[in-house]
Amino acid sequence: MSTTATTIARAPSQPSGGARAFVQRLRHGDEIAHLITLTFAAGILLLTSMLVYELWVNSHLSRAKFGWLFFWTRTWDPMFGDFGAAPFIYGTLITSIVSLVIAVPLGLSAAIFLAELAPRRISDSISFLIDLLAAVPSVIYGLLGIFIVVPLVRTTIGPLLINTLGHVPAIGKLFRPPNYGVGFLTAGIVLAIMVVPFIISVSREVLLTVPRDQREAALALGATRWESTWQVVVPWARTGIMGSIFLALARALGETMAVTMVIGNDPKIVASLLAPGYTIAAVIANEFTEATGDLYLSALIELGLVLFLMTFILNGLARILIVATERGGGHP
């Protein structure tokens, strides 16, 4: 703005004022630079809207034919053009829940160690290594999943669970044979390893923002270190920790390769976690190139739309929660 003012002020003392001012503005380049960068920033907006638009338009056939029933139908039959998303939504949710059941306690307790106990240098170097873990490509996790986790579940973890928890009345039906090694549990384990770095790094950041006097007050009242952490620090940061869990969940829902390689690719809704299943991302990865016919492709794209909406909502929630804690502390 100030540049524009100077050009206008200077204009009268020079001949051909209008042209001069224009050249000057060009030379200063402020307006142009503003416009160019604005265009690219707006391009991101455009690209994201195009993404939603393409998903919406290209899933038209399937949406028109199945409507809301798409979400409840259990059959997935490309031969007869009968498509229902229920087994995939079920598989996506179950694998993500299993992964959180494993990753949340592990990640939270590691974050507590890094934020509350470990000396700063050790904490920083461990966090560094955990960031590296987050950078490992998902196809590598899938590779290790196939050759390490699947045999482990087939020979050790699976039989162990069937023989112990399998006999417990309420949760027994979660652990029933057959146990092939591939399935919800295996996918959940691999996913847990993949999302744990996210829970740790975000939770650690949030825990570090808890004011020091909160801890000191608890310790001064005679609380042990653990009591001050668990009853004062963690509740203070709980909103942000919830945010980190939502972020992890969003990532687990959308994760494709590692899950595709160990889930077993069987579109069924079964109670047993040891049974093979299927997820939204996995079915898109497996069947997209083989989709013959427009309806088939359109149904797969609608699955993509569903996945997009699920992660969209979770990411939004997570961001709000994390910002809320970092601004004013989780306490009302």
Binding mask 50-79 for another protein (x = CB under 8 A): xx--xx--x---------------------
- The nearest distance, CB 95 to another protein, in angstroms, is 14
- Mapped onto helix, strand or coil, the DSSP state of residue 19 is helix
Nearer Cβ to another protein (49/163): 49
Nearer Cβ to another protein (166/240): 240
- The nearest distance, CB 225 to another protein, in angstroms, is 6
133 binds another protein per the rule CB under 8 A: yes
- The nearest distance, CB 143 to another protein, in angstroms, is 5
323 binds another protein per the rule CB under 8 A: no
- The nearest distance, CB 282 to another protein, in angstroms, is 9
User: Which of 314, 248, 306, 265 is closest to 106 using CA atoms?
Assistant: 248
Segment contacting another protein (CB under 8 A): 81-89, 160-168, 175-183, 300-308? 300-308
- The nearest distance, CB 332 to another protein, in angstroms, is 25
Under rule CB under 8 A, which residues in 155-194 are in contact with another protein? Answer: 193
- Mapped onto helix, strand or coil, the DSSP state of residue 267 is coil
288 binds another protein per the rule CB under 8 A: yes
Q: What are phi and psi of 83, to 5 degrees?
A: -125, 130
| CB-count burial class (<10 Å; 0-12, 13-18, 19+) for 299 | buried
Q: Estimate to the nearest angstrom the gap between the alpha carbon of 164 and the chain centroid.
A: 32
Q: Is residue 182 within 8 Å of residue 276, measured between CB atoms?
A: yes
151 binds another protein per the rule CB under 8 A: no
Residue with tokens 């993500």: 96
Under rule CB under 8 A, which residues in 255-284 are in contact with another protein? Answer: 255-257, 261, 281, 284
| CB-count burial class (<10 Å; 0-12, 13-18, 19+) for 78 | middle
- Judged by CB under 8 A, the residue of 11, 21, 86, 126 near another protein is 126
Q: Is residue 192 within 8 Å of residue 99, measured between CB atoms?
A: yes
- The nearest distance, CB 211 to another protein, in angstroms, is 21
- The nearest distance, CB 139 to another protein, in angstroms, is 4
d(CA 142, CA 256): 9
224 binds another protein per the rule CB under 8 A: yes
- Judged by CB under 8 A, the residue of 112, 182, 206, 241 near another protein is 112
Segment contacting another protein (CB under 8 A): 12-20, 45-53, 62-70, 80-88? 45-53
Size of the site for another protein (CB under 8 A): 85
136 binds another protein per the rule CB under 8 A: yes
What is the 3 state secondary structure string of 165-186?
HHHCCCCHHHCCCCCCCCCHHH
d(CA 100, CA 96): 6
For residue 254, give both structure tokens.
């959308």
41 binds another protein per the rule CB under 8 A: yes
Q: Estimate to the nearest angstrom the gap between the alpha carbon of 289 and the chain centroid.
A: 25
As a whole number of Å, the end-to-end CA separation of the chain is: 42
